[in-house]
Amino acid sequence: MKVRLLIILFALGTCISAASSASSGSSTGSAKNNPEYRQWIEEMKIRERGPFKQLRWFCNDGTIFPPKAYACAKHGGGHQHGDWSDKTRKLRGEGYLIANFLAGYDTDVAINEPEFIDAYNQLLIEKFLVRVDNGWILRRALFYRGAIQEEGERDGGRALLLTLAADPNWIGFRYPALRIGTALLPHGEDTASVQKVRQVSASLSEEDKGFKDIRGKIHGTPEASDATLVRDYASKVSDPALKEKYEALAVDIDLVYQAVPLPAQLRETAEVFTAGPWLQKILRSAAQQLEQDPSAEHQYTVTAKLLAELRDTLPRINTASARLRITCLCTWLSGGTSMSTSALRQAWQDSRRPAFMPRFCL
C-alpha cells in the first residue's frame, strides 16, 4: 500500500506544482488561493450537471451542434459530451484544468504542446480525485446521461498511453507517470461482457424510467461498485420480475470485474507474447513459483522480483502496445505486492528491516 501511496503522492505534488505555476502565469495572477474559485468547486460537487451547462456534439472540423443523431456525420465525425460551464472555462483559463475529456483527444498535437507535462499531471490528479472523493466535481454529473461517453474516453485514453509508451523517455525517467496513467486513465478493450452490461442497462432504463440516472453512470463511467448501485435501486422496486432483471444485471457487472488469480493472469498474459519467448519464460516461471508456496513472504518475494524484471525488460520490447500491456501488468501486480506487504507487517512485529530491499516496478 505504501508503494502505491508514494506513487500517488508523486503525482499529487507534481500536479499541484503544475496548477500553481499555470495560475501564476495567467493574465490576472489572481487564481492562487482564490476563495471564490474554491466555492465554485464545492458548488460543482452538488450541481446536477457538475462542471457542465449542457450537452453538445463537438465535430472534428470544429463545428458544434446540439445533441441529435449523426450531428457530425457531414463534419468529419466527432464526439458528444458535456459542454463546459462559464465557471469551468474561467477556471481552466486560470490554469486549473478541470473537467478534462479524453474523447477526441488529439494526442499528436497535445504531446508537442509546451505545457503538456503540466496538463497530463493535472489530468491524473483529477482522475484521482474523482476516484477517491466520490466523483469530486462529477459527483452528480456522473449520472448526467451523455455528459461522458465511456467508449470515447477509453479510446482516447488508450491512444494517449500508447503514444507515451512508444517514447523512450516514458519508459525511462518518466515511467512513474506512465504507471500512474495506466492506473487512472480508462484504456481497456471493449469486451462482449461490457457490451452486454451496457445493452441490458439501456433496455432496463427504457422499461423503468427511474433507472435512467444509474444507466447514465454505467454508460459514462463504469466501475465495479455499479453492481451495488443496481442492487440498492432494485431493493426499492416492487415488481418481482423487474427485481430479477436488476439482479441479473448486477451479477453481470460482478463478472466483468471478477478478480483473476495472479498465476492465471500471468499465464494468460504470457500467451500474448508469442514473439518474445524470453518474456513468456519470465511470466510462466513467476506463475509457477507463486503456486508453489502461498505464504505472504514468498508471494512478496516473487512479485517484487517480477516487478523489477518487468521494469527492466521494457526497453527490450519494441511495440508500444506490448509495453503498455506490461506496464498495466506491473500496476496490477503492485496491488498484490501491497497486500503481501500488509500480511508481512503483521508477521514482523520487531519491525526489522529485511535483508534485501526489492526494487519495485517504478
pLDDT level of residue 8 (50, 70, 90 thresholds): very low
Residue 355: predicted pLDDT: 33
pLDDT score at 257: 83
Distance CA 283, CA 325 (A): 13
pLDDT digits over 46-103, tens only?
999 999 999 999 999 999 999 988 899 999 999 999 999 999 999 999 999 999 999 9
The stretch 27-41 carries a mean pLDDT of 73
Mean pLDDT for the stretch of residues 112-134: 94
pLDDT at res. 20: 41
Q: How far is CA 49 from CA 41, 54, 288, 321, in A?
A: 13, 8, 50, 36
The predicted model gives 241-266 an average pLDDT of 89
| Residue keyed to cell 474523447 | 103
- Is it the case that residue 199 has pLDDT exceeding 50? yes
- Residue 288, pLDDT > 50, answer yes
Residue 82's beta-bridge partner residues?
A: 55
What is the biggest distance separating any 2 CA atoms in the chain, rounded to whole angstroms? 69
Could you count the other beta carbons within 10 Å of the beta carbon of residue 328? 19
**DSSP, residue by residue, 150-208:** HHHHHHHHHHHHHHHHTSGGGGTTTHHHHHHHHHHS------HHHHHHHHHHHHHHHH-
Q: For residue 158, what pLDDT band results from cuts at 50, 70 and 90?
A: very high
CB atoms within 10 A of CB 35: 7
* Residue type for position 208: D
- Among 56-70, 221-235, 329-343, where is mean pLDDT lowest? 329-343
pLDDT classification of 331: cutoffs 50, 70, 90: confident
What is the pLDDT at residue 219?
Answer: 87
pLDDT on residue 255: 87
Q: Please report the pLDDT score of residue 294 as a whole number.
A: 84
What pLDDT does 66 receive? Answer: 94
What angle, rounded to 10 degrees, do the helices at 150-165 and 320-347 form?
90
* 22 or 118: which leads in pLDDT: 118
- How many angstroms from the chain centroid is the CA of residue 204? 26
Q: What share of the chain has pLDDT > 90, as a percent?
A: 64
Q: Which of 190, 56, 51 is nearest to 126 (CA)?
A: 51
Residues 159-180 have pLDDT tens digits of 999 999 999 999 999 999 999 9
Distances (CA, A) of 58 to 66, 146, 266, 299: 9, 13, 41, 49
pLDDT at res. 215: 92
Tell me what pLDDT residue 29 has. Answer: 43
The pLDDT confidence band at residue 207, using thresholds 50, 70 and 90, is very high
Comparing 75-84, 272-281, 286-295, 328-337, the range with the smallest average pLDDT is 328-337
Tell me, what's the pLDDT at 343? Answer: 52
Residue 37, pLDDT score: 94
Position 359 scores a pLDDT of 31
pLDDT at 279 > cutoff 50 = yes
**pLDDT score at 332:** 82
Is-contact 159 45, C-beta < 8 A? no
Residue 82: its H or E element: strand 78-84
When pLDDT is averaged across residues 131-135 and rounded to a whole number, the result is 90
State how far the Cα of 70 lies from the Cα of 57, in Å rounded to an integer.
Answer: 9
Average pLDDT over residues 193-199: 86
Using the predicted structure, report yes or no on whether residue 329 has a pLDDT greater than 80.
yes
Reported pTM: 0.79
pLDDT beyond 80 at 124: yes
Tell me 59's DSSP state: E
Q: Are 360 and 307 in contact (CB under 8 A)?
A: yes
Q: How far out from the chain centre does Cα 267 lie?
A: 24
Q: Which amino acid is it at 105?
A: Y
- What is the tens place of the pLDDT at every residue in 264-277? 989 999 999 999 99
211: pLDDT strictly greater than 70: yes
